Structure 1
């Protein structure tokens, strides 16, 4: 997890808000893919890959915040 410590928090926040939510209209792409996942419609490999790519910045941000919380406490 040393690589996670090297990533600046600001970069992860910007990545999550831009890459994680793009395209913004008509709705964020990750939201569309999550709705497909819940409905059981996320079956195409391209959709699964798309979800992974849009979720990656959010996962990294969550991991960084969790690691920072553990380091403080």
Structure 2
């Protein structure tokens, strides 16, 4: 199911993850802003939920790739 991740190199995935987690750099990264909204219970608009998901996609893919590679090397 995630075989496409084997074609993506780690440096590219790491750079995409960092960039998306920190973008925009000023005044506050969207991920931080959306997590604060989630904590306060104000994350209700569909665009805000999509934005949080959008900024976490590269990080989630990186985590999945790490888990897959760890399980493959362990087997």
Provide structure 1 residue ranges, at least 5 long, that are not aligned to the other structure.
none
Residue correspondence of structure 1 range 22-33 to structure 2 within 5 A: 22-33=23-34
- Tell me the equivalent position of 2:53: 52
Count of residues paired in the alignment: 73
Bigger Rg, structure 1 or 2 = 2
Q: Superposition RMSD on alpha carbons, in Å?
A: 1.2
Q: Which runs of 4+ in 1 moved over 2 A?
A: none
- For structure 2, the residue ranges without an aligned partner over 5 or more in a row are none
**TM-score by structure 2 length?**
0.86
Q: Partners in 2 of 1:30 and 1:44 — Cα distance? A: 15
